[in-house]
Structure 1
Amino acid sequence: MARTPATSRRSLLFGTAAVSAGALLTACTSNEPTNREGAADKAAPVADDKPGKPVTIGFAGPQADHGWLNAINDNAKSRAKKYSDVTLEITEGSNDTAQQIGQIQTLINKKVDVLVILPADGKALTQVGLQAMRAGIPVVNLDRVFASQQAYRCWIGGDNYGMGLNAGHYIGEQLKGTKNAKVVELAGLDNLELTQQRTKGFNDALKNYPNIKKVARQAADFTVESGQAKMAQLLQAQSSFDALWNHDDDQGVGALRAIDQAGRDDFLMVGGAGAKSAMDAIKAGNSVLKATVLYPPTMAASAIDLARALGQGKGVGGLAEFEIPSSLTLYSAVVTKDNVDQYLPTGFI
């Protein structure tokens, strides 16, 4: 597969816990009766696993040329197969804005019941989201948000600020007893809002730990190659530090190579997103990587649940409201050796 520029590949990734997403899946599809009070006790229909009204869901995302994006597609497909009443119309995916718009317009012309869209560029695809909504097709906006709330019925995605916040708090707690502790940050693409949000969350968390100072930050571009190159630069510039936060587990593969080549093991490392390779390393406990902060691709499975509920005119189990929420932000759980077995099945390759 030809590689696309990193800015295209990961521009949509704006940051999470797989278990939180899993909880949402359960909530969306629960067969358990809910204890409701008042009018809602009798009136609110809830989506469940039992076959209901047939729903055709159109799914449009960018080109799956990254582990996280492949996992997004896999989660959507496998979730749709769970339901005998769901037909999934999935596009090939593209990082070219015009091409993705054309793919979505094809789904609109097919008169699908609901659309799930993960736009390569949320701002650029806002108009096609509006077009679908005006055509009476509700849109579940997945992860990268459209510029107008009128372009979608429901948004579901990760929490980039929360990723940085939780990574910072984890590191802070690990270094509580260390005087004059030093941390470094291996960020993603600096021109992306998601990177800025992750850094802001990290900085805000560190404010709670006066013994810690961030002494260096280097921006990479979410690839193995960039992670290795930029980490090598950090290691050369910083002869000693106590902790590293790396925004992305894919570039973390390269970062770990640079760390091994430098023979460094004098600090702890926290990753980001939740790749299987990172979780395997955390479980093995034989590297500096001690934790990763999740940005779960299981959100695509949740998006299918929400789209099915919308198509069937139902709500979410566990909530008293008649309608599904207008937005759902997933939690950024920290995966460590203590809980890695719980999250390992959600790790993406």
Structure 2
Amino acid sequence: MKMSDPSRGLHRRRFLTGALGVGAGAALTACTSNAPAAPAGGPAVAPAPAAGGSAPGTPVTIGFSAPAADHGWIAAIANNAQAQAKQFPDVTFEAVNPTNDIAQQIAAVETLINRGVDALVILPNDGSQLTRVGQQAMDAGIPVINLDRIFDSPLAYRTWIGGDNYGMGVSAGHYIGKRLRDAGVANPVIGEVAGIDNLPLTQERTRGFNDALATYGFSVGPRQAADFTAQGGQEVTANLLQAAPRLDAVWNHDDDQGIGVLAAINQAGRSEFFMVGGAGSANAMREIQADTSVLKATVTYSPSMASSAVALARLVAQGRGMSDLAEPEVPASITLASATITKENVATYLPLGFES
């Protein structure tokens, strides 16, 4: 997962299976995994039309590398990238085997470089450790679209596209803050189930959450960090609930891990608070739509960014820009927005959801 501003050097993955177009402003966001009800990552949603260049252009080959699809959001990333590439008759899509091994991913990208692909779309396992191979591609004249987890140096990529982790926290904080303020709750106890604390993306989500809550005069109370898995979410939430006999609201950073979070809440028989999720999985959205649990909203971090990354790679490789912009070149960075999904608007977003 990566974060709001590429200059911050944040890293990451995450949720929602939309294939938004890369128009003047690509929007929407999301993350999550486990036992999918549909094929891993859910079915890829119909991709958006080509941004700024729907007419066929020079034939190009786009190489693609991403981590293993052991998480619903990551699976949706791969599905969306492939589905988007199929929309272009002038694109040959070469995806290397997904892997969570850093050395194997570097070797796979080097293979694509040696084949002389026209552009690369790379979601690195670790942006820092793959910076060198990204720069290697750029030095070889192959433009790199850096997806989500950002490389350490802008010399390693032509364009970065990813989600807004700080914005996720802000969206969650405003939803919780406004709901509690409107209900007249004084001195609320607000819990937080974070992801992996040493990841910049988690730190950004927490910072945005704190900043938004502060505008209402609220602050975070009990906080536990999990590991973006259902098992981890269940374990840390059980601990959080034991330590907090009263809660008014909870934000869980990730809908994949949210499966375990909800399981712990149900096992404890707690229902005095409401919860906001993170990423926008179809599972979470169905729960919100049913309105039978504490989960009342989720904030997005959309894997549709992979569809947009392929569309951008095509345009860059063909020397084209985005038709809705005045500039003839594709921008150097695009940050997706984080939407808040509630019962009122969930029907609009549900077709974009990915399976956890």
TM-score scaled by length of structure 2: 0.87
The reply to whether residue 53 of structure 1 matches residue 58 of structure 2 is: yes
The reply to whether residue 72 of structure 1 matches residue 71 of structure 2 is: no
Alpha carbons 2:52, 2:324 under 8 Å: kept: no
1:24 aligned partner, one-letter code: V
Greater gyration radius: 1
Q: Which runs of 4+ in 1 moved over 4 A?
A: 14-19, 25-31
Deviation, structure 1 residue 287? 0.6
Deviation, structure 1 residue 197? 0.7
Alpha carbons 1:16, 1:332 under 8 Å: kept: no
Partner residue in 1 for 2:190: 183
Give deviations 1:4-62, integer Å, cap 9, x for gaps: xxxxxxx952669877x72525879768xxxxxxxxxxxxxx73222221110000111
The reply to whether residue 170 of structure 1 matches residue 186 of structure 2 is: no
Deviation, structure 1 residue 291? 0.5
Aligned residues: 323
Partner residue in 2 for 1:5: none
Q: What RMSD, in angstroms, separates the aligned Cα atoms of the two structures?
A: 1.9
Question: Helix, strand or coil for the counterpart of 1:24?
Answer: coil
Partner residue in 1 for 2:125: 120
Partner residue in 2 for 1:224: 230
Question: Helix, strand or coil for the counterpart of 2:117?
Answer: coil
The reply to whether residue 206 of structure 1 matches residue 213 of structure 2 is: yes
Alpha carbons 1:16, 1:163 under 8 Å: kept: no
Question: Helix, strand or coil for the counterpart of 1:121?
Answer: coil
Q: Distance in 1 between matches of 2:76 and 2:280?
A: 11
Partner residue in 1 for 2:153: 148
Q: Distance in 2 between matches of 1:17 and 1:230?
A: 24
Alpha carbons 1:14, 1:195 under 8 Å: kept: no
Alpha carbons 2:166, 2:205 under 8 Å: kept: yes
Residues 322/27 of structure 1: CA separation in 2 closer, same or farther (3 Å cut): same
2:20 aligned partner, one-letter code: G
2:307 aligned partner, one-letter code: A
Partner residue in 2 for 1:139: 144
Q: 1:299 aligns with which of 287, 294, 305?
A: 305
Q: Distance in 2 between matches of 1:18 and 1:163?
A: 17
Question: Helix, strand or coil for the counterpart of 2:20?
Answer: helix
1:80 aligned partner, one-letter code: A
The reply to whether residue 95 of structure 1 matches residue 94 of structure 2 is: no
Q: Distance in 2 between matches of 1:277 and 1:334?
A: 15
Alpha carbons 1:16, 1:158 under 8 Å: kept: no
Deviation, structure 1 residue 320? 0.3
Alpha carbons 1:245, 1:269 under 8 Å: kept: yes
The reply to whether residue 238 of structure 1 matches residue 237 of structure 2 is: no
Give deviations 1:291-338, integer Å, cap 9, x for gaps: 001000000000011001011111112100010000001001111111
Partner residue in 1 for 2:22: 24
The reply to whether residue 255 of structure 1 matches residue 261 of structure 2 is: yes
Give deviations 1:115-158, integer Å, cap 9, x for gaps: 00000010110010111001000000000000000000000000
Partner residue in 2 for 1:283: 289
Alpha carbons 1:27, 1:317 under 8 Å: kept: no
Partner residue in 1 for 2:115: 110
Per residue, is there more helix in 1 or in 2?
Answer: 1
Q: Distance in 1 between matches of 2:16 and 2:340?
A: 8
Q: Which has the higher contact order (CA 8 A, sep 6+)?
A: 2
- Which segments of 5 or more consecutive residues in structure 2 lack a partner in the other structure? 1-9, 27-47
Q: Distance in 1 between matches of 2:17 and 2:25?
A: 14
- Which segments of 5 or more consecutive residues in structure 1 lack a partner in the other structure? 1-10, 32-45
Residues 72/16 of structure 1: CA separation in 2 closer, same or farther (3 Å cut): closer
Alpha carbons 2:21, 2:308 under 8 Å: kept: no
1:229 aligned partner, one-letter code: E
Q: Distance in 1 between matches of 2:20 and 2:317?
A: 21
The reply to whether residue 270 of structure 1 matches residue 276 of structure 2 is: yes
2:12 aligned partner, one-letter code: L
Aligned sequence identity (%):
57
TM-score scaled by length of structure 1: 0.89
Q: Distance in 2 between matches of 1:109 and 1:214?
A: 50
Residues 172/293 of structure 1: CA separation in 2 closer, same or farther (3 Å cut): same
The reply to whether residue 63 of structure 1 matches residue 62 of structure 2 is: no
Alpha carbons 1:162, 1:331 under 8 Å: kept: yes
Residues 17/169 of structure 1: CA separation in 2 closer, same or farther (3 Å cut): farther
